[in-house]
Amino acid sequence: MSTVTIPRADVTSDEVSAALSEGLGPRYEVQPGMKAPLLGWGEPEEGQPDDIVVGSGTGRVWRAQVRIDRQAGQTRIRVAPTGLVWIRLINTFGVARKVRRALLAAPDLGPASGSG
C-alpha cells in the first residue's frame, strides 16, 4: 500500500475522484463511495463516502482501492491494489501505481507528497 499526503484536511472525495478521472483518462472507471470485492473480481460493493474504487479492463479485475483519511491538518490518501496474490502483484505495478502518480500530479489537490 502507498500513501499520498495532501497538506490540508479539507480534501473531499469529490475532489479526489475528479483528480483521478482527469489524471487517468477515460480508460479508467472511478467509483466514489465503493469498495472493491473481497476476492478482487465481480462488481464493487457499497462502501463509505471516503472509499473509491478505480478499475480498468474487462471484468474490472485490474483495480485499486483508494481510502481517504483526514487527520492533524492533512489528508492521507491510501492506495492499495486489489485481487488475489498474483493479480494484486500485477495491480501493484499497474493500476495502483498509475493512481498514485495521478494523485501526485493533480494540481487541484495542492502540493502532495508520497510514500510507499
**φ and ψ of 59, to 5 deg:** 75, 0
Q: At which residue does the C-alpha cell 457499497 appear?
A: 46
pLDDT digits (tens, 9 = 90+) for 7-66: 999 999 999 999 999 999 999 999 999 999 877 677 889 999 999 999 987 666 889 999
pLDDT (0 to 100) of residue 58: 65
User: Does the predicted model carry a pTM greater than 0.75?
Assistant: yes
DSSP 40: S
Q: Which residues fall within 8 angstroms of residue 93, CB to CB, at 6 or more apart? A: none
Give the pLDDT band (50/70/90) at residue 108: confident
Give the pLDDT band (50/70/90) at residue 82: very high
Task: Specify the CATH number for 2-115; select among 3.30.1380, 1.10.10, 2.60.40, 3.30.310.
Answer: 3.30.310
